[in-house]
Amino acid sequence: MSKEPAERLTPMGVMVLALLREGDMHPYEMVRLMRARRDERLLAVTNGTLYHTVGRLQRGGLIDEVGTDREGNRPERTTYTLTDAGRDALIGWLRRELSIIDRPAEFRIALAEAHNLERPDVVDCLRIRRVALAEGHALHRDGLTGARRKGAPEQVLVEFERQEVLLDAELRWLDSLLDRLEAEAFPWGPTAFENTDRYLAQRKAAQQ
């Protein structure tokens, strides 16, 4: 059986692996949890895409079946578990996408699932990202200043100006996040919330 390398994971694949990091579950529960957590702000959540992704992950050896059950008139449900290869692929994908700046859609998903990494690991990845952001911000800032000095019309610089402002804002946000992570201002890690009342209620509702 061929294994799915981390770099070939789709965003939906990452979300499925992250869900199974929380515990074994069937696809119906996965969909309900994604919708309860408003994951549709990050990617399109459809039954068809999720079931296709589950099949691909299983064929790649990243997840495996652990049983089936039928309750009342409901269709039979297959429960899946995360394999060691799946865990490694998830962690590898998160580390890579947290560190680079040229894949903004993937970064949002990596950030949403960053709690699957330990705190020092996240800090290391985000510090690498900060270096690249700072370099990009300096290039845009200096380029904008130089263009204005040469008399470039403002109307052709509006996109340049927007990107410089966005990079500056992201740097300030990232510095704040790094400060909070390093000060351990809030719990962190793959098991930090699993016994809270809200989390347990959410899991129970998704299983119905």
Quick one: pLDDT at residue 69?
79
Quick one: pLDDT at residue 72?
56
Quick one: pLDDT at residue 74?
65
pTM more than 0.85: yes
Full pLDDT tens readout for the chain, 208 residues? 445 455 589 999 999 999 999 999 999 999 999 999 999 999 999 999 999 999 999 999 999 999 887 665 667 889 999 999 999 999 999 999 999 999 999 999 999 999 999 999 999 999 999 999 999 999 999 999 999 999 999 999 999 999 999 999 999 999 999 999 999 999 998 777 766 767 767 777 777 6
Quick one: pLDDT at residue 40?
92
Quick one: pLDDT at residue 201?
72
- The model's pLDDT over 44-68, given as tens digits with 9 standing for 90+, comes to 999 999 999 999 999 999 999 998 8
Amino acid (1-letter code) at residue 47: N
